[in-house]
Chain A
Amino acid sequence: MLTMILKRAAMAIPSLIGVVIVTFLLTRALPGDPAAYFAGPAATPQAIQEVRVKLGLDKPLIEQFGLYVLDLGHGNLGNSLTTGQPVLTELRTRLPASAELTLLGLFVSIVIAVPLGILAATRPNSLIDHACRVIATLGVSLPVFFTGLILVYVFYYLLGWAPAPLGRLDVFFDPPPQITGFYLIDSLIARQPEVFMASLKQLILPALTLGIFSLAPIARMTRASMLAVLSSDFVRTARASGLSPFTVIVTYAFRNAMLPVITTLGMVFSFLLGANVLVEKVFAWPGIGSYAVEALLASDFAPVQGFVLTMAVMYVALNLMIDVLYGLIDPRVRLEA
């Protein structure tokens, strides 16, 4: 098992190198003078020259790349122009908000999509099967920001069930003392049930938006792989041996059908991390996505670069985790490695 994990981790290294090269090249691709860009729109020629020397932009490209990697090694992602803060610090304080939202969104979609896919596969051509297909097709057609706005209109404006889509917590509450940075967990640790409820209320709509968005691929994959497994020999044997339909489906079919679904999770995460940016904008969520969007619009490039790098590194790490999880569930993968 350990060798398998190490092998997979080694396979992630070329991806990481590629990610670092691309984020480096993105800065050099800036139209015009990168130094002028980093110095900001109001900079004087001297200031631009200072920035050029400070950033090492007067050195050859390969040396600049070395410096960039060295900076990354020291955790230096540069400073934001608008706030003057180091990008790393800002990303770190905002990351829990995004992570809490994304993970809850994924949780919502798995909780809905997996049972839906199983039900659709066990009753082909039934009403629920058709519903599954319609939801899967609609899910990929709905722009995620549009879903979010519709939910806000219905549940905030019309029904008044949800709080205003303005951030993680109502202004009347103080955030719980920070331990994990996840408000739901921190408020439970601090025994503040009212803060827990308040942050949960804020989370429901954005998480549901992300959930609806990522529902389609998971449901579709669950259905397809359940159908394949249900027609396999071992399921027929299990049925013929007189096991109850529940045991056959849950113990025998489900565990095997989950493998392709877990593989799909990698793709789902790619979409989810992107959609997160849009959902954060709709719900004024103080995560790294809205941080990057603000910086983008202010032509403040260091935060954007840091954001792209962080997201890519997280995505590579998530894919690695998925591979390891795959090995944990399927002993055959372990043997191959």
Chain B
Amino acid sequence: MTDIAAAPRRDTALTALFRHARYVIAENPVTGFAFALFVLIVLAAILGPNIVPYNPLSSDTAQALKPPNAHHWFGTDQLGRDVFSRVIVATRLDFFIAVASVALVFLMGGLAGVAAGFFGGWTDRIVGRIADTIMAFPLFVLAMGIVAALGNTVQNIVLATAIVNFPLYARIARAEANVRREAGFVEAARLSGNSDWRILAFQILPNVFPILVVQMSLTMGYAILNAAGLSFIGLGVRPPTPEWGIMVAEGAAFMVSGEWWNAFFPGLALMVAVFCFNLLGDGLRDMVDPRRRT
């Protein structure tokens, strides 16, 4: 029922957002570039296995360790697998790990933080204590420990990456919810008889949401780096699965003998992806909060 009333208003808000987005992109071409790159990454993640020229798993020992050439743009690895195909196909897994872990921490950290900021008291103390305890560890080391304890799987890499990012989300959500706790519109909602939970869901959350979305795109880069680092040391993803971190690890041995392309291209893909997410995060932040522009 509310949909009918809300639909036209949301529509104008959306068009306004698009206009604003176009304005920001026009003003800052770097954000536009980052967005184009992002679309490319998403396309590679979706279409990857269907568009690559070679099967990423099939080996051809006659073609082993060939430098980049017309047939193999990124060269071939020690088993003669096409590095280009492997790098492209790996996009899906790396992107999935990053998106899944960021979505997970968004739910855990965002909700816990909003609850802590809104309710205060014990909720606040417990969430704060959990966040502080996680922050007492060097984050990558904690992620290693978590994956080691829970088991060496991709799901646990996602979970570990989400857990180490928890304090960041919880703190931001807490701060944003806390300043709105006594705001006029919250008081108004309370006076009209809304319950705490209803206020939380319909007044506070929608306001904190955009800020957390910016945080999501800023932490995507870190999530990819963290996951790739874990698989670089041999956790989570197992060969022969194409994944950027493990491909760099496999190619590392050939770096000292001059076959650079094995580790270089997956590493480059990793770097480009992280770079893209960081730029995009900065651009999104400009859109949501112009005051924080750097």
B17 at the interface (CB under 8 A from A): no
Interface pair A15/B136, CB less than 8 Å apart: yes
Interface pair A14/B137, CB less than 8 Å apart: no
Interface pair A141/B221, CB less than 8 Å apart: yes
B162 at the interface (CB under 8 A from A): no
Q: Contacting B138 at CB < 8 Å: which of A157, A304, A312?
A: A312
How many residues of A are counted as interface, with CB atoms below 8 angstroms from the partner's CB atoms?
A: 54
Interface pair B139/A18, CB less than 8 Å apart: no
A164 at the interface (CB under 8 A from B): yes
Cβ–Cβ < 8 Å partners of A304 in chain B: 144-145, 148
Q: How large is the interface on B (under 10, 10 to 19, 20 to 34, 35 or more residues)?
A: 35 or more
**Distance to closest chain A CB from B180 (angstroms):** 27
Task: Give the A-B pair count, Cβ closer than 8 A.
Answer: 150
With A157-B256, A304-B145 already in contact, the answer to whether A315 and B137 are too (CB < 8 A) is yes
Within 8 A of A (CB), among B245-266: 245, 248-249, 251-252, 255-258, 260, 263-264
Interface-located stretch among A46-54, A82-90, A114-122, A148-156: A148-156
Interface-located stretch among B171-179, B189-197, B268-276: B268-276
Interface pair B275/A141, CB less than 8 Å apart: yes
Cβ–Cβ < 8 Å partners of B165 in chain A: none
**Majority DSSP secondary structure for residues of B touching A:** helix
Interface pair B149/A26, CB less than 8 Å apart: yes
Q: Contacting B136 at CB < 8 Å: which of A19, A31, A157, A297?
A: A19
Q: Contacting A14 at CB < 8 Å: which of B132, B146, B232, B274?
A: B132
Cβ–Cβ < 8 Å partners of B233 in chain A: 277-278, 281, 293, 296
A273 at the interface (CB under 8 A from B): yes
Cβ–Cβ < 8 Å partners of A305 in chain B: 145
Q: Contacting B145 at CB < 8 Å: which of A142, A282, A308?
A: A308
Interface pair B271/A141, CB less than 8 Å apart: yes
A165 at the interface (CB under 8 A from B): yes
B234 at the interface (CB under 8 A from A): yes
Q: CA separation between A16 and B248, bound complex, in Å?
A: 36
11 more contacts with CB within 8 A, not counting A18-B133, A141-B278, are: A14-B129, A14-B132, A19-B136, A22-B142, A143-B271, A144-B229, A153-B258, A157-B257, A271-B138, A275-B140, A304-B148
Residues of A within 8 A of B (CB): 14-16, 18-19, 21-23, 26-27, 29-31, 137-138, 140-146, 149-150, 152-153, 156-157, 164-165, 269-275, 277-278, 281-282, 292-293, 296-297, 301, 304-305, 307-308, 311-312, 315-316
